[in-house]
Structure 1
Amino acid sequence: MTEAMQLVLAQCNTHVGDFEGNLALCKSIVERAQSEFSRPVIVFPELTLTGYPPEDLLLRPSIEPRVQVALSQLCDVVTTAYVIVGYPRRIDGVLYNAAGVIHQGALIGEYHKWCLPNYQVFDEKRYFEPGTEPCVVAIHGVQVGLSICEDIWAPEPALAAKTAGAELILNLNASPFHRCKQNERLSIVAERVAETGIPVVYVNQVGGQDELVFDGGSFVMNSQGQVIKQLPRFDDACEMVTYPFGPADVSEQAVTDQLAGFALTDLQEVWQALVVGVRDYVNKNGFPGVVLGLSGGVDSALTLAVAEAALGADRVQAVMMPFKYTSQMSLEDAAEQANRMGVNYSVIPIEPIYNAFMSALEEEFEGRKPDTTEENLQARARGVVLMSISNKTGKLVLTTGNKSEIAVGYSTLYGDMAGGFDVLKDVPKTLVFALCWYRNSLGPCIPERVITRPPSAELAPDQKDEDSLPPYEVLDQIIDLYVEQDCSAQNIIDKGFAEADVHRAVRLIDLNEYKRRQAPIGVRLTRRGFGRDRRYPITSKWKPGV
């Protein structure tokens, strides 16, 4: 006879390599659940004990004993509960991505992940061998099948679990965010439910790990394909749902109301991803705070707003570094935003630094006309100032380049690219503007004319970005087609874009790979962010733009 079970969805934020911290987190959740519920079944995310993704830490010989110690100590606190937790497991020299079932102090079942993703940011085939057998465990009279993340994206693992007798599938995930990802998850799980007639509990991790952001959004889908429970996005959560569940357990209106409470617009999703990405990168790496150059322009304005939301005003320092080409408007707007946000603010003119550099280079530059070298030197002077503040205070330098600029190389090596984390690395310029308006909808923050005036690096008199680039409304579409959709130059031209704009843009994208290799990491928002997603050679005879 089926006994009611209390499924606890443990949507948690782990720290890669922190076995002690991850174990302590698991133990606290288990102990609380065992004290609050009579028959809890606690489901943790994928590779909880190591954190995800552990990357080449999986190749270290010492990882195996550390996993064993953590697993043994977790078993010690599991009494009345059933705990399903993820970890790497080596058997006969073969490493698996595993999910174990713990009850009454013992490991009573173990599943090895079948489908190993090896695309976009994933390279699990580098480390793991695929499992070949389903795992179905009897829990409170219910036959429970296990699966891990990518397994739910293919029909075979769920069908195999059904054949083995599964009545319920628990799916452990470390599924990183990209725009519209939650809708994809819901759609895929609905397909598995329709194929098998088996309800699915989908538990995802949350938090930032280097450039990846995990957005949670764990959910329960019944055998009719209805989502009867969803946890918050971008935040830790630990909630219980009783099984068996069905349409009668919760009204259609209650389901609609709950999902509406967690539904996010595209701008809300992106904003939260940026905030979580910055917060966890800074905090998990132990930085006391951040410092950034505030120019009076839109990119640094948005970067400052994200940093303040992530860390609080007292941990953020903004530095205005004017030069003779800096407008009065920029000076006023930077000061106004810093004042509105209550961050630490200072003004350090760079003209004396620039002049000292130019004096030292006078003989080297003799007989040569001024060009972009002098413009880049301004940016590099600012980079020296920010990195010196970082060196002295321990604060992390946030760079402010957006995806559009990074794509075409509209940035200066060892200048505005100097720093440890680029908040806007995967944010195209048109989205920067939209996010600024969104942030202002939450309360006064960015001066309106920062958003409405024509973008300029202010490295030369009356300089405008569009003097040397196509309008951002055009450029961003070309970048999307070429970088994220892998369209050829001719494909893009055939879609109605001007041939000159297309060839210039894709040529610059191809030629500036060497810069991007030296750029700091930043929050990933798309399927093809620069970095882990897109790996192109620097040295190549590939014809630019083809």
Structure 2
Amino acid sequence: MLKIAMAQLNFTVGDFDGNVQMMLAQLLRAAQAGADVMVFSELSLCGYYPGDLLEDIGFLHRMERALEKIRRASKKLPKLTIVLGTVRKSRGPGKPLHNSLLAIQGGNIVLEYDKQLLPTYGIFDERRHFEPGPEIASVMQIGTHRVGFLICEDGWNDQGADYKVNPFNALRAAHPDLIISINASPSDIGKRALRHSLFAAASRHTRLPLLWVNQVGGQDQLVFDGASFAVTPKEGIVFEAARFAEDFQVLAFDKGHFMRADGGALTSPAVEGLAREEFMRQQIILGLRDYARRCGFQRVLVGSSGGIDSALTLALAVQALGPENVYAITMPSRFSSSGSVDDSVLLCQRLGVKLYHHPIAGLVQAYDAGFQAAFDAPLRGLPLENLQARVRGTILMEFSNAFGALLLTTGNKSEISVGYCTLYGDTNGGLGLIGDLYKTEVYALSRWINQQAGQEIIPQAVLDKAPSAELAPDQKDSDSLPPYEVLDEILKWHIEGRRLPQDEGRQASQAVQQLARTDEGKQLIAKVLAMVARNEYKRRQAPPIIRVRPRAFGSGRQMPIAAKY
């Protein structure tokens, strides 16, 4: 029987001391549990993904020193095989580095495997830094078992759709008893189900059991959900670790089956997983919590307009950091309704958030007078609307600078897509929590939060009011945008397309096909697509957003600004 310990940990990019300390603590736990193997995730020593830090010689030297600490610890645990991810120098032509897996026994590196498939799609750009490893099977004997190894993307091509090489083929020919795959797999809607489906199919195809170990935590716009799992050819997914939390587990493996460490049967995880809204909530909360912590912020700030976007942002921030670490500012203008201010007050009372009042009518009037004096023309229309947003953005940044609070932007994906936002105004900030949620999802998640709380955390009046920027008299979003129920389907079809989960993809495609049956519908589709293209320059200057969906704005969608669409 082989006892395998796995640790899905919240590694920080470049924090070698912190990462090593976490790993050393898990090594002791594994040894005390009598484990034969201790498995960490992909690039566990440095954290995923270091980007161009890999071109910093000092960074690579610190990584070598971190590895040496693990090797020294291994000498004191001679019965434990340590499996981890790190960076190694290439021994041939091409890029100077490999994304590597090491197996360490008694202080010695006894196996070194270099990742063969380097993703360059979506948010990945590993070929920028790494050279692919040779097309070989990496297998070693641990006790009475032959164990094969993969690194993340190596296991995603069993159907041969994306690469010419399928590392599973060489592994299957080497006849291991078990495959261990180390991963840094970001999470998004539908990702868990996709992993289970692909690796269950690969396990059946190769007739090989597999242990899949992931990391957890937020890193810039990405969130890693953990959810490590074990799969066998006949039983499918037989084990799943915690989602959105660190976890340490010891599994036993013998005769093709995974068991509990004491030899008892495992309980297979539920197929359906989290409800979609709960997934969104946990993804965003973990993303904010780690982003703030890693960037050195304890407190956050939100401009509270009384609308649904700022309300949801505040509610999520409170769940992530606690009400004592969240501030809000209401900044009414002469166009703001009394209800919007009242709704902000009620919302912040329910959340326990400190709300500041900073009216902007006088500031806007002063700008108007200065503009008229300088240019002999009054401020009106769009310039006046944008001025109000920019005055508010300036006030928010003043508070952020003065009191050290991270400013959270409140734009949703629908508005960001079509440019329904003001550059240097409501786009000011350090992080967007709901920038990967369409407007209809903002409403759905808000209702979910109320439902789970068993009370109106977000006031019903906020949920019921017609969306409005309140930058002009009686202004409504519907004055310049189609209904969000229509707009969101067009945007999903255009921005995410085949990346959508099957149910969403079918719905979006059908909605667009229905619209395209009329000339008016065709014109609407063309108008929305033109708005998306025209506003790329705004998105390029916007703060990072927490990725929730298969394709988010940011590094996962790279479009030119100066182009003819």
Report the CA distance shift for 1:522/1:315 in structure 2 as closer, same or farther (over 3 A): same
Residue matched to 2:89:
90
Give CA deviations for 1:338-362 in whole Å, capped at 9, x if unaligned. 1111112211111122122222212
Q: Secondary structure at the match of 2:515?
A: coil
For the 8 Å contact 2:539–2:553, the answer to whether it is kept is yes
Give % identity. 40
Once the two structures are TM-superposed, the CA of residue 247 in structure 1 deviates from its matched residue by: 6.4
Q: 1:335 aligns with which of 338, 345, 356?
A: 345
The structure-2 alpha-carbon separation of the partners of 1:248 and 1:536, relative to structure 1 and needing over 3 Å to count, comes to closer
Aligned to 1:522: 545
- Whole-angstrom distance in 1 between the partners of 2:304 and 2:510: 39
Which secondary structure does the structure 1 equivalent of 2:425 belong to?
A: coil
Specify which of 22, 25, 36 is matched with residue 22 of structure 2: 25
**1:101 equivalenced with 2:103 (yes/no):** yes
* 1:407-426 alignment, distance < 5 Å: 407-426=417-436
Compared CA separation, residues 367 and 351, structure 1 to 2 (3 A): closer
- Residue 138 of structure 2: aligned partner: 135
Q: Is the 8 A contact 1:75 1:105 kept in 2?
A: yes
Q: Contact conserved, 1:31 with 1:77, CA < 8 A, in 2?
A: no
**Is the aligned partner of 1:218 residue 2:215?**
no
What SS does the aligned partner of 1:462 have? coil
Counterpart selection for 1:205 from 215, 223, 226: 215
Amino acid at match of 1:70: A
Which sections of structure 1, spanning at least 5 residues, go unmatched?
none
Q: Which residue of 258, 270, 276 corresponds with 1:266?
A: 276
CA deviation digits over 1:475-526, x for unaligned, max 9? 1111111111289xx9986442412321221111110011111101111112
Contact 1:428 1:476 in 2 (8 A): yes
Matched, 1:536 2:559: yes
Amino acid at match of 1:128: F
- 1:41 corresponds to 2:43: no
How far apart, in 1, do the equivalents of 2:60 and 2:308 lie?
A: 48
Mapping 1:187-202, distance limit 5 Å: 187-202=197-212
Q: How far apart in 2 are the matches of 1:207 and 1:142? A: 32
Equivalent residues in 2 for 1:346-495 (5 A)?
346-368=356-378, 370-443=380-453, 444=455, 445-485=457-497, 494-495=513-514
Residue equivalent to 2:285: 275
**Structure 2 Cα separation of the partners of residues 149 and 400 of structure 1:** 34
Q: Is the 8 A contact 1:96 1:129 kept in 2?
A: yes
How far did 1:245 drift?
6.4
- 5 Å matches for 1:224-263? 224-244=234-254, 249=259, 258-260=268-270, 263=273
Contact 1:229-1:241 at 8 Å conserved across structures: no
Unmatched 5+ stretches in structure 2: 159-165, 500-508
Distance 1:102 1:62 in 2: 24
User: Please, what TM-score do these two structures have when normalized by structure 1?
Assistant: 0.94
SS in 2 for 1:86: strand
1:276-300 per-residue CA deviation (whole Å, 9 max, x = no partner) reads: 1111111111112100101110000
Q: Distance in 1 between matches of 2:38 and 2:380?
A: 66
Cα deviation, residue 302, structure 1: 0.5
Q: Distance in 1 between matches of 2:181 and 2:259?
A: 22
3-state SS, counterpart of residue 120 of structure 2: coil
Q: Which residue of 1 aligns with 2:66?
A: 70
TM-score, normalised relative to structure 2: 0.91
Shift of 1:46: 0.3
1:505 to 518, 523, 528: 528
Residue 119 (structure 1) shift:
0.3
Question: Cα 1:369–1:227, aligned 2, differ >3 Å: closer, same or farther?
Answer: closer
Q: Following the alignment from structure 2 to structure 1, what is the Cα–Cα distance between the partners of residues 258 and 181?
A: 24
Task: State whether residues 372 and 378 of structure 2, in contact with CA within 8 Å, keep that contact through their aligned partners in structure 1.
Answer: no
The 1:222–1:338 alpha-carbon spacing in structure 2 relative to 1, beyond 3 Å, is: same
| Correspondence 1:113 to 2:115 | yes
SS at match of 1:259: coil
- Indicate if the aligned counterparts of 2:238 and 2:258 stay in contact, CA closer than 8 A: no
Deviation at 1:249, TM superposition (A): 4.8
Which residue is equivalent to 1:150? 153
Alignment-mate amino acid for residue 269 of structure 2:
L
SS at match of 2:390: helix
- Cα distance in 1 for partners of 2:237, 2:471 equals 53
How big is each residue's C-alpha offset from its partner over 1:203-223, in whole Å with a ceiling of 9 and x where there is no partner? 011111100111111001123
Partner of 1:81: 80
Output the amino acid matched with 1:98. Answer: S
Contact 1:194 1:225 in 2 (8 A): no
Q: How many residues align?
A: 534
1:451-492 residue CA offsets vs partner (Å, 9 max, x unmatched)? 1211011111111100110000011111111111289xx998
